[in-house]
Amino acid sequence: IIDIGTPEHSVVTTCAYCGVGCTFKAEMRGDELVRMLPYKDGKANRGHSCIKGRFAYGYAHHKDRITKPMIREKITDPWREVSWEEAIQHTASEFKRIQAKYGKDSVGGITSSRCTNEETFLVQKLIRAGFGNNNVDTCARVCHSPTGYGLKTTYGTSAGTQDFDSVEQSDVILIIGANPTDGHPVFGSRMKKRLREGAKLIIADPRRIDLVRSPHIEADFHLPLKPGTNVALVTSLAHVIVTEGLADEQFIRERCDWDEFQDWAAFVADPRHSPEAVEKVTGVPAEQVRGAARLYATGGNGAIYYGLGVTEHSQGSTTVMAIANLAMLTGNIGREGVGVNPLRGQNNVQGSCDMGSFPHELPGYRHVSNTHAREEFEKAWGRPLDHEPGLRIPNMIDAALDGSFKGLYIQGEDILQSDPNTQHMAAGLAAMECVVVQDLFLVETANYAHVFLPGSTFLEKNGTFTNAERRIQRVRKVMAPINGYEDWEITQLLSNALGFPMHYDHPSQIMDEIARLTPTFEGVSYEKLDELGSVQWPCNEAAPDGTPVMHMDHFVRGKGKFVITEYVATDEKTGPRFPLLLTTGRILSQYNVGAQTRRTANVVWHEEDRLEIHPHDAENRGVRDGDWVKIASRAGETTLRALITERVAPGVVYTTFHHPTTQVNVVTTEFSDWATNCPEYKVTAVQVAPSNGP
């Protein structure tokens, strides 16, 4: 028990770790944060929290925090501390020099799903209006970009359909490629409560996640599909529902495009999509698939929750659309207890996408070729905007290697550790002339940076985050930024130095601009957020207090669109050299690349990445529990300790990506989603062999 004494005052703010968006009271004594207390009135958490939000804030004062700007001529030079004035002027002159020499499209930027909506909005504004191109992308590229594509295509909006409360009305919960008790612990607990009350549970996951069997909960069906076969499995679920007459025809006739549905129904009814026909592909017994399909279609309110096990595949967008088809097919959309719900990883991944972080979309998901939308922004910002989509992160790296992309401004994202194919990423970064990293620590990407701008933590800034249920919540400053500036102020300084002036005094003014320019945010203001606690977009004249459940009377796009989802096997194949399939994920106590959780002195943060391997595969290789093993793919190799477990099936191995010492992304490949380039982290053919250690 730690005696924290009596806090003198508290500030209500939002957790900066995951897409659940728990509200906390940050309790203070003077300028010292003494406790994070889950806030009972928090709409997303109702007084609950997990260990990360509750305890993992120590990184804010960690000795590794960089508090002074630094520059260097070459990435092999030592860093030199400089004043903010010098750092900003140097950065601006470098970007100007590069654009003058190589053209306006030779530079770009990356926004962060860890930063606020206001900060993200400013970075994309700087790129579009200041740099004059659309070379802006976000770390959502590597997680939920297929959600954006898939749900926009089928339903008309790039977001989940429900609020978290909705799960309390669900009768059947179908989880595909998500691990809520580790990835989204507070919402995972709400889900467990509903399951203990009697809701049925179907899990499609190659791995036996905790929810398959935990105290008082046992999944009715666990479909342990082979990594990379989601589309085949979900289409076979649809096959059963269509061919056994379990579809909700009235809903489809009223709410969806009937002609498209008929074409789609003929496609899924083809015997080649039957569970028996695809059993060899998915590895899931046909009877299990039939049983799960019948349960989802006839068990009452059916809700689908999915995660990165769906999106991070070469067919990520196809799977999202296959899932959307399934919900429309059964009428499980547009009311409480049902829907299609992507479980967002980072605290503001929804917000970073909403704010126009993609190279083809302005804020509010309007395509850059949309003249009317572009004119609104041009009028507000006083600059002509490019109508051609810009470069995605992988395209920026490829262009750097081709010599046409030379300067990159990265706010709060460690692309070297978190993106796939580390060697390729490193070569691309090394080929640039000015890489600017704005972050808390000297993260791995900073090894390739020429300028380091120290960023601020969520405790040191004002703004908003948008969680997985589209809930916009206030982030309130608890302490002064130890670097001197909030992140949005740094972007503003840079923009001013580049000759595109910005004049905000407070992030509330940025939100006012967002509301003026983004129809789904029209009614959002700090006053409203302070009054209501939070709002879920769309928030506008039609829904002044926000929208908990979407698509209630009609889909945002009008009629729901059934999309034909043909299964195409990934190009990543196992064979004699690489006979096992590696898939990756996360654990509860660590957060993404671990930059924050590894720097918090507390109980369990220092767990290492382990390789889960089935006893059969371990025995074949002479590997014992805890042994060092080398894992190799055609992209690279790394070393970590083995954890022998039946959580993974024979032929499948699994690990996390939290530690830079492991750098598991040196083995992941260059393959990515056909529509969005979201990397295929979930399928890598590998070999595992005993090792003497790193």
Q: What are phi and psi of 333, to 5 degrees?
A: -155, 145
Cβ at position 47, least distance to ligand SF4 in Å: 11
Q: Which of 180, 228 has the CB closer to ligand SF4? A: 180
Q: Is the CB of residue 394 less than 8 Å from the CB of residue 677?
A: yes
Longest dimension (CA), the chain: 70
Q: Which of 50, 459 has the CB closer to ligand SF4? A: 50
In this structure, are strands 637-644 and 628-632 parallel, antiparallel, or unpaired? antiparallel
Residue 218 CA to residue 665 CA, distance in Å, equals 33
Q: Which of 72, 606 has the CB closer to ligand SF4? A: 606
Q: Is the CB of residue 270 less than 8 Å from the CB of residue 565?
A: no
Q: Return the closest-CA partner of residue 356 out of 67, 190, 135, 592.
A: 135
Residue 435 CA to residue 452 CA, distance in Å, equals 9
Across the beta sheet with 534-536, what order do the strands follow?
A: 463-466, 471-475, 534-536
Q: Say which residue the tokens 């606690």 belong to.
A: 533
Q: Which of 52, 194 has the CB closer to ligand SF4? A: 52
Q: Which pair of structure tokens corresponds to residue 268?
A: 């899924």
Cβ at position 637, least distance to ligand SF4 in Å: 32
Q: Which of 50, 127 has the CB closer to ligand SF4? A: 50
Q: Which of 184, 630 has the CB closer to ligand SF4? A: 184
Binding site for ligand SF4 (CB under 6 A): 15, 17-18, 20-22, 45, 49-50, 52-53, 184-186
Cβ at position 469, least distance to ligand SF4 in Å: 12
The radius of gyration of the chain's CA atoms, rounded to the nearest angstrom, is 24
Q: Which of 127, 588 has the CB closer to ligand SF4? A: 588
Q: 679 has which bridge partners?
A: 672
Cβ at position 386, least distance to ligand SF4 in Å: 36
Cβ at position 86, least distance to ligand SF4 in Å: 37
Cβ at position 37, least distance to ligand SF4 in Å: 11
Give long-range contacts, CB 8 A cutoff, 24+ apart: 240-244: 240/274, 240/275, 240/289, 240/290, 240/293, 240/294, 240/297, 241/293, 241/296, 241/297, 241/326, 241/329, 241/330, 242/268, 242/269, 242/329, 243/269, 243/274, 244/293, 244/294
Cβ at position 52, least distance to ligand SF4 in Å: 4
Q: Which of 42, 523 has the CB closer to ligand SF4? A: 42
Q: Which of 53, 507 has the CB closer to ligand SF4? A: 53
Cβ at position 176, least distance to ligand SF4 in Å: 20
Cβ at position 88, least distance to ligand SF4 in Å: 33
Q: Which of 49, 318 has the CB closer to ligand SF4? A: 49
Q: 11 has which bridge partners?
A: 26
Cβ at position 328, least distance to ligand SF4 in Å: 30
Q: Return the closest-CA partner of residue 13 out of 3, 21, 1.
A: 21
Across the beta sheet with 302-306, what order do the strands follow?
A: 221-223, 200-204, 172-176, 302-306, 340-342
Minimal CB distance to ligand SF4: which residue?
A: 53
